[in-house]
Chain A
Amino acid sequence: MSTEKALQQLSPTADPKKYWTSLGQIEQSPEFQKMVEREFPEGASEMTDPMSRRRFINLMGASMALAGLASCRRPVEKIIPYVIQPEQITPGIAQRYATTMPFGLSAFGLTVESHEGRPTKLEGNHLHPASMGRADAFIQASILDLYDPDRSQLVQKNGKKATWAAFVDFWSKLYVSYLNNGGQGLAILSESFASPTLYRLKQNFTQTFPKAVWATYEPVSDENIFAGISAATGQSLQPNYDYSKANVVLALDSDFLMMDSENLTAARGFATGRRVASETDSMNRLYVVEPAFTITGGMADHRLRLQSGQVGTFLATLAKALQRQNVKVDNRWLPAQNEPSSIDTAWIKELARDLVANQSQSLIVAGRRQPAEVHALVFALNQSLGNIGKTVVYRALKDAAAPSTESLVELSKALKSGEVETLFILGGNPAYSAPADLAFDKLLTTAKQTIHFGKNADETGCLTTWQLPQSHYLESWGDTRSADGTASVIQPLIEPLFDSRNTVEMLSLITTGALPKAYDVVRETWNSLIPGNFEAGWRRVLHDGVLADSATPVKQPAIDKKLATFLQAHPFPATSATAASMEIIFTASASTFDGRFANIGWLQELPDPNTKLTWDNAALLSHTTAQKLGVKNEDLVAVELKGRMISLPVWIMPGQADWTVVVALGYGRTKAGRIGNYIGQNTYTLRTSESLHFTRGAKITPTNGIYALACTQDFHGLDVEKLASEGIDRRLPTLIREATLAEYRNHPEFAGQESEFPNNSMWPDWKYDTGYQWGMSIDLNVCTGCNACTIACQSENNIPIVGKRQVAKGREMHWLRLDRYYSGNLDAPQMVFEPVGCQQCEMAPCEQVCPVAATTHDAEGLNVMTYNRCVGTRYCSNNCPYKVRRFNFFNYTKDTPEIARMAMNPDVTVRFRGVMEKCTYCLQRINRGKQVAKKENREVRDGEIVVACQQTCPTDAIVFGNINDPDSQVSKMKKQNRDYGLLAELNTRPRTSYLAKLRNPNPELELSNHRG
């Protein structure tokens, strides 16, 4: 069937909704057919690489001969006790410490699990306002950054081994001369930070060296937002959104649920307004205008695809519509010309009506990609709608080095003209991530001496005179301020693994010429921060991780008179991008962010939530654009922008604006390390300082090449019947149950099972009258698809990564995957996510076929997996309708470097080749909880055992507990009328159940049949 024909069938009004996962499914390509029929994708079960079958048998023969002799002797194992045992440490009992992860201007408070002094797992700190006990995928994965074997391990001078003493000696000589000339010729390029101590040191630096240059650069930052607010108010402020108070949210090119800053508070607030317990509850409404799907767009009730460059025009049109509905909008804010016809005016009218109806309970938010003028107008409209002070408040940036691309451009000019003699680069990787027009890597040679202080000897570090190893935040003393100004402390969990220093020490060294202890410097700063008795207060801060009540006061900004002039000077483009001059959009990668996480295997292998691509970036195109260009998925194309060109494979994304090409930053690194090198293409080479985020003038030329991408979207597709297509069409609407709020109110039981299935099992029922019965409920209505649970699970359960080639064969090991489905047509589909892990069936098909009883039912209802019994027949996974079982085709942990093994959870078995594995509801946590309760001779309390995915979930979509207790939270959730089980008609009786998804479309817009 051709795509055209398939598309016709995907009429937007077709009912019941037709769900699909990929273009392959719509076209019913032979590859897709095969994929759903097979237990694992083709080739997954063949042993092809890295060694041939013959070689394998050779080796096996040899090792059998050796094993015969060696196994006679019992291996001697040693117990190495302490000489002097630290007071707090009891072997076998994990400890938790509070610390903070700095991330640009943001800071996320964490509690870190530490086993005998070895940090293994990160969780959010409940007391910290920016994390609120939750963590996202980047935070979860940053533990691997600590144990990165490719970190810079020693001081290097011109690529040769040197020492810190040598560097201190070198600097102290220069230091004196700079003291005398006021720092003429001295420059610092830093990452952005919000930290009382670093800010104090920065002030000291500027005082000591008044003539020195300080530049701050972040490749992906909120710079435009600050600039917009500053243009609107004349003040330097940052926004704090409260999505929980907003009934109507309009997101303009903003992925506030995942990739924008302060995503955890945003997701949590949004979920608060979204969560529904019964049909009488109300829920918020989300309008999204964006060029390409983000998970925020997936949550939208109404989504409009629009080029990034058109968003400003859209906003101006909206402003006019608001003005017509008597909202105070100054005419001088708006462009003179008429509204372009390409934007759906009916849509805007209804949106405006909704915003007006919810004044002071609505919120307009624009993404960090959008230019300052959009943010300025957003501020003005939020002000006119009465939202400021209600759904959004503003606070002054405190103790912050705010990012400024302009400062980097200035620094580059100074470097070019030879004014800079000594350049310190404090963190960051400008040789890789600076705008291409600056040619920063070449500029590094113009300074007499350059010093790179960074975690890796990366693209920058290998060009500078000195490379100084920087400590990871889990090895450092320091402090931060979160977006609301709350001060929190960074305390080390472990001594530096290598000969590294932290940023506080480094900056002190630059300013004072001597290396102090960071602990002393931080304490000195906090002396003035902590009110009352310092020692007591300090101990409290170390315990809590945060300084209570230290948020900065809320400002009441008014609109500055200059706003009109500013908006007049920066008009929005009226035309849209076309074939001749396509729009290119640079996005931060959900895996590597701006490239800083490139060497973290967990993140590289984590499927992008929208594209489901792993280990690569691609040129994302809309379906129509690709068709007009004559390209299809995995075709290599040349992406050209202003004379610069790179070659990227095409990936077609439903719901993307035509004539846009979206490329992710953070790939194509050459000095990231063994994992991140040469993964994807470096798109920074197209990015210039005038157009950091999106621009027109891109050209795409098909080439003859083909490049294979590893995409997981069709893998583990749920099928029931042997034959794919018809079965899937019928089945998909039962996997995802979705309704509008109005439909839900009319039919509260819409998600319920269509019929009762008789229990005609061959096996006797399990008796569950006493004790615990574990179960899980996942609320699809608040699940945003952000991937945090997948990484939390990977970190907790020692799940290996397998590499791109293995992923392409469908051998990825994630116990918890996020299925992504589309519904509706290719141009304006809706997107739904569904986290699927082992459903812990009551009548588990896997248990019934295991020939060695390696997977069995336990008394508390879990399907448990005994790894040491498994012989790898894979019958269980063949028989699993949910495709949640994962097989170790190779010994994936064999090559894990010693240092990376330190991240392993000692409470979970590391699985060997030939063993099946799967989710066990974090059995180690259940057992720990039970034992704690038992020692105190009581029952486990509800909420006492928290599983890893649940703990990290920013929206609390996942709830776990004892379903034998009718008052437990999970029982209450399962009693809701939206509760349904996946493939319940198979009589598997899953213990994980789902709450059906709801959308809250504007009835007016729905009537006029504007879907999507």
Chain B
Amino acid sequence: MAQIFPKWTNKLPPVVAAGLLLALLAVVGFFWYFGSPMYTDVGYQPVQPVPYSHKLHAGDMGMDCRYCHTAVERSTVAMVPPTQTCMNCHTLVLPESELLKPVMKSWSEGTPIPWVKIHKVPDYAYFDHSAHLRVGVGCASCHGRIDQMEVVQQDQPLSMGWCLECHRNPDMSLRPIDQITNMSWTPPVNQLELAAKFKLERNINPPTNCSGCHR
């Protein structure tokens, strides 16, 4: 009697097993990559109600971040500026511009401009801008080269793992306090030495406990 299964079927179980394993790995890998904030959040670039260009203001004209984001050194939030701040200049500069229509409307009607939030930390994580600036973490470390962005997009994943990387080893992110808003600052050759000095001077011991951010 002929055999029901041809001989090559002997190889089938290991092949199927390997295939299933690969498929599983692929699924895990898929979610690992495409489900992570690195993929889902980085590059988030919503359309804003005002076509405001950070590249023009902060980059080409070299305005300091803190001209508009005034609370950043004192408060937990950097603060999106009130319409008034725009009007400091734009009462004189290009008041008739088509692009500034929404700002003018806000100013004349007294209604706020509904900016779309880009850099979002979950509600249960309490981030403090002022604490980071005090120890010399620059804006660019988390927000990227804002001065080169025509429309702002998210540069870093802002995930917990990403936060912890720096909290565990902040050396490369610490800079002289007067350089915090300098977008083009790069670590000097002796950065590790400087970082050690900064940590001592500024009493830096970033929390890695849950209670550092969650309450």
A and B part of one assembly: yes
Instruction: Find chain B residues with CB under 8 A from A771 CB.
Output: 205
Q: Which residue of B lies closest to A75 (CB)?
A: B120
* Contact indicator B82/A85 (Cβ below 8 Å): yes
- Within the complex, the shortest CB–CB distance from A728 to chain B, in Å, comes to 34
Q: Which of B108-116, B161-169, B184-192 contacts A (4 or more CB under 8 A)?
A: B108-116
* Contact indicator A81/B71 (Cβ below 8 Å): no
* Contact indicator B76/A92 (Cβ below 8 Å): yes
With A866-B210, A907-B215 as known contacts, state yes or no: A91 contacts B117, CB within 8 Å. Answer: no
With A74-B40, A927-B215 as known contacts, state yes or no: A83 contacts B107, CB within 8 Å. Answer: yes
B203 within 8 A of A: yes
With A92-B79, A923-B215 as known contacts, state yes or no: A82 contacts B203, CB within 8 Å. Answer: no
B83 within 8 A of A: yes
Instruction: Find chain A residues with CB under 8 A from B122 CB.
Output: 868
Instruction: Find chain B residues with CB under 8 A from A62 CB.
Output: none
Q: Which of A256-264, A480-488, A885-893, A930-938 contacts B (4 or more CB under 8 A)?
A: A930-938
B207 within 8 A of A: yes
In chain B, positions 192-215 with a C-beta closer than 8 Å to chain A are 202-203, 205, 207, 209-212, 214-215
A864 within 8 A of B: yes
Of B70, B84, B209, the residue contacting A858 (CB under 8 A) is B209
Instruction: Find chain A residues with CB under 8 A from B40 CB.
Output: 74
- Within the complex, the shortest CB–CB distance from A67 to chain B, in Å, comes to 15
**Most chain B Cβ neighbours within 10 Å, of A79, A91, A771:** A79
Where chain B touches its partner, the secondary structure class is: loop
Q: Which residue of B lies closest to A931 (CB)?
A: B131
* Contact indicator B215/A76 (Cβ below 8 Å): no
* Contact indicator A909/B215 (Cβ below 8 Å): yes
* Contact indicator A93/B215 (Cβ below 8 Å): no
Contact with A along B80-110 (1 / 0, CB 8 A): 1111100000000000000000000011001
What size tier do the contact residues of chain B reach? Answer: 35 or more
* Contact indicator B111/A83 (Cβ below 8 Å): yes
- Within the complex, the shortest CB–CB distance from A752 to chain B, in Å, comes to 32
Q: Which residue of A lies closest to B77 (CB)?
A: A92
Of A79, A80, A84, the residue contacting B84 (CB under 8 A) is A84
In chain B, positions 47-75 with a C-beta closer than 8 Å to chain A are 70-71, 74-75
Measured CA separation A539–B106 after assembly (Å): 34
* Contact indicator B84/A90 (Cβ below 8 Å): no
Measured CA separation A856–B208 after assembly (Å): 12
A867 within 8 A of B: yes
- Within the complex, the shortest CB–CB distance from B160 to chain A, in Å, comes to 10
* Contact indicator B82/A83 (Cβ below 8 Å): yes
In chain A, positions 611-670 with a C-beta closer than 8 Å to chain B are none
A859 within 8 A of B: yes
* Contact indicator A81/B83 (Cβ below 8 Å): yes
Instruction: Find chain A residues with CB under 8 A from B113 CB.
Output: 81
- Within the complex, the shortest CB–CB distance from B138 to chain A, in Å, comes to 17
Instruction: Find chain B residues with CB under 8 A from A868 CB.
Output: 122, 124, 214
B171 within 8 A of A: no
With A90-B71, A91-B75 as known contacts, state yes or no: A81 contacts B115, CB within 8 Å. Answer: yes
Of A78, A84, A92, A907, the residue contacting B117 (CB under 8 A) is A78
Q: Which residue of B lies closest to A797 (CB)?
A: B215
Q: Which residue of A lies closest to B129 (CB)?
A: A92
Measured CA separation A278–B121 after assembly (Å): 51
With A77-B117, A79-B115, A80-B112 as known contacts, state yes or no: A859 contacts B83, CB within 8 Å. Answer: no
B29 within 8 A of A: no
Q: Which residue of A lies closest to B106 (CB)?
A: A83
* Contact indicator A924/B215 (Cβ below 8 Å): yes
- Within the complex, the shortest CB–CB distance from A931 to chain B, in Å, comes to 5
* Contact indicator A91/B71 (Cβ below 8 Å): yes
Measured CA separation A771–B76 after assembly (Å): 23
Measured CA separation A74–B211 after assembly (Å): 27
In chain A, positions 63-116 with a C-beta closer than 8 Å to chain B are 74, 76-85, 90-93
Of B41, B44, B114, B202, the residue contacting A78 (CB under 8 A) is B114
Instruction: Find chain B residues with CB under 8 A from A401 CB.
Output: none
Contact with B along A863-889 (1 / 0, CB 8 A): 010111100000000000000000000
A862 within 8 A of B: yes
With A920-B211, A927-B215, A935-B130 as known contacts, state yes or no: A83 contacts B77, CB within 8 Å. Answer: no
Measured CA separation A909–B106 after assembly (Å): 33
Of B84, B114, B117, B131, the residue contacting A935 (CB under 8 A) is B131
Instruction: Find chain B residues with CB under 8 A from A277 CB.
Output: none
- Within the complex, the shortest CB–CB distance from A296 to chain B, in Å, comes to 37
Q: Which residue of A lies closest to B135 (CB)?
A: A934
A47 within 8 A of B: no
Q: Which residue of A lies closest to B160 (CB)?
A: A868
- Within the complex, the shortest CB–CB distance from A853 to chain B, in Å, comes to 8
* Contact indicator B214/A864 (Cβ below 8 Å): yes
* Contact indicator A907/B126 (Cβ below 8 Å): yes
* Contact indicator A931/B116 (Cβ below 8 Å): no
* Contact indicator B215/A74 (Cβ below 8 Å): no
A908 within 8 A of B: yes
* Contact indicator A91/B77 (Cβ below 8 Å): yes
Instruction: Find chain A residues with CB under 8 A from B126 CB.
Output: 907, 924, 927
Measured CA separation A869–B125 after assembly (Å): 12
- Please list the 10 inter-chain residue pairs (A to B) with the smallest Cβ-Cβ separation, ordered nearest first: A92-B75, A858-B209, A82-B82, A864-B211, A92-B76, A77-B117, A923-B215, A92-B77, A85-B82, A81-B80
Besides A80-B112, A81-B115, A864-B210, 14 other CB < 8 A contacts? Answer: A76-B46, A78-B117, A79-B117, A81-B79, A82-B84, A90-B75, A856-B209, A860-B211, A864-B211, A909-B124, A909-B214, A923-B211, A924-B215, A934-B131
* 25 A/B residue pairs, CB under 8 Å, sorted by A: A74-B44, A76-B116, A77-B120, A78-B114, A78-B116, A81-B80, A81-B113, A82-B84, A83-B83, A84-B83, A90-B70, A92-B71, A92-B75, A92-B77, A858-B207, A858-B210, A858-B212, A859-B207, A866-B210, A909-B214, A923-B215, A924-B126, A934-B131, A935-B130, A937-B203
